[in-house]
Amino acid sequence: MWLITFSLVGVFYFYWNFIRPLNTWKNYGIPYIKGWPLVGNFLKNALKRESFGDAVISMYKAFPNEPYCGSFVFSAPRLLIRDANLLKDIGIKDFDHFTDHTKIFFGDGFDPIFDKNLFSLDGQNWRDMRATLSPAFTGSKMRGIFVLMNECGNQLVNYLNDKIKTENNQKHLELELKDLFTRFTNDIIATTAFGIKVDSLKEPENKFYLMGREVTYFSTFRLFLMNFIPTIMRLLNIGILSKAACGYFRNLVFQTISMRETQKIVRPDMLNILLQTKNGLLKNDDKGDDNGGFAAATEGKVGGKIRKLTDEDVTAQAFIFFLAGFDTVSTAMCFTVYELALNPDIQQRLYSEINDALDGNPNAEVTYETLHRMKYLDMIISESLRKWPPAVFIDRECTKPYRLKTDNGKEIMIPTDMGIVIPIMGIHRDPKYYPNPEKFDPERFSDENKSKINMNAYLPFGVGPRVCIGSRFALMETKILIVHLIINFEVILTSKSTVPPRLSTQSSNMAIENGFNVGLKPRNF
């Protein structure tokens, strides 16, 4: 009897949560992409026959003449927005209706260190935290952090030069960029966000890096369970993040805070800025000269109140900087440098710009002002983020009912709690917005052409007040890496390089099939 009852409950639970939602869009009378139980519109991706990015492009192309359509992320119905004007309405004009992220991948109550970070917070808590942290990411604050980042750039070049000399004096070094750049971004986050200096290139097994890898390794099976049986997972106290690694980072921040406060230590890093915020001493000294570049996100006012941070708050923000910087930024670096290898003429022009800026001396010290005067470098990175956006889609959740109207007279009432999907990868590859979108063409972002770009269709860091708060930080470390790399090495293709590049179907992250394999040829060899 119990077995029959349990089976019936299980069947009903499966139907209610995974079959019933797939009929949602029939009731709205709008075109929709047929979904499958558990995987929604990502069946081919789940079967490793299509990359995540290509899946999003396929969804975007399903109804090319529609401003929006119904879609499914896992079994959750999500309204997919295709029209750039609607994106402006949802992301900026009517932001008050879409202030929060959906809980597609991370639900509340699993990992305290994750629940309190800026990305995860909702409602007024998010508004207050955003208003509190915004002064920490102004151009003037980035200027102070530049020195620490630049040290990591010099550290990278020294490592590569030593490696070439010790490996049979070969004329070029073959390597896979992802591991190299992940270690570089790891060291930058260590020094700028956690206040410690590490060298993950010379000390590949250092604890900070190993804990970083552990905490950023998301178990696909756990992720699946968290989305479909969250209550049981909470009862079992099982989260997606490694508790040992989370504990390591929490203790590291707590110890560093204690040492700095008792010994009156001041260091020009992000942790010091967070401590100023904690003590109510952080001033907004932004004078409008942010030097972030074309892709740098512009924030809108969010109506939050400045608050004092607790040590737990400081830890949570440092932790989300780590998660974003460890993988997302290194991925953007990989695609940019790989495109330079694929396009030697573009690389040569960039080298000439960098060489001129350094007065022909590759050993000259790179300065903050010099870095941000390099227009072609900014054009290259802007185009790389267009063609290979690190986030292939972003989401929003409707927080109060919203009537979505289009230019052709169509409208739909979006209820509270309905999720919205913004398919960045599809929009960035749409020839309506970017002619010949498969071509890597930095000239799109030249002074003569950038005014032609529909800014509602350029979303590398998101849209509206909820854009990535660390865009200037990410752009600056990416530029530092490329300047140090290109002034010292020519990036070339090797027999292992994938040409043309194809997105990997085996990785859940943005990656090229068979890896970012290139060669580095010293310019002064």
pLDDT, tens digit (0-9, with 9 covering 90-100), for 117-126 = 888 888 888 8
pLDDT the model gives residue 272? 83
Computed from CA positions of residues 494, 496, 498, 503, in that sequence, does the dihedral angle turn out positive or negative?
negative
In this structure, of 17-21, 109-113, 372-376, 470-474, the range with the lowest mean pLDDT score is 109-113
Strands (DSSP E) found in 353-479: 394-397, 402-405, 411-414, 419-422
CA distances from 387 to 56, 181, 211, 373, 455 (A): 14, 19, 31, 23, 15
Computed from CA positions of residues 365, 371, 375, 380, in that sequence, does the dihedral angle turn out positive or negative?
positive
Which phi and psi (to 5°) does residue 161 adopt?
-60, -45
Highest average pLDDT, of 68-82, 115-129, 257-271, comes from 68-82
Annotated binding residue at 69?
A: no
Q: Assess whether pLDDT exceeds 80 at residue 314.
A: yes
Are 156 and 144 in contact by the 8 Å Cβ rule? The answer is no
Mean pLDDT to the nearest integer, 39-53: 90
Q: Assess whether pLDDT exceeds 60 at residue 417.
A: yes
Whole-angstrom Cα distance, residue 60 to residue 322?
A: 31
CB neighbourhood size of 47 (10 A): 10
Confidence band of 494 (pLDDT split at 50, 70, 90): very high
Are 318 and 274 in contact by the 8 Å Cβ rule? The answer is yes
Are 141 and 486 in contact by the 8 Å Cβ rule? The answer is no
- Tens-place pLDDT, residues 202-223: 999 999 888 888 777 655 556 6
Domain residue limits, the chain: 1-112+393-441
Whole-angstrom Cα distance, residue 244 to residue 214?
A: 9
Is this model's pTM higher than 0.75 or not?
yes
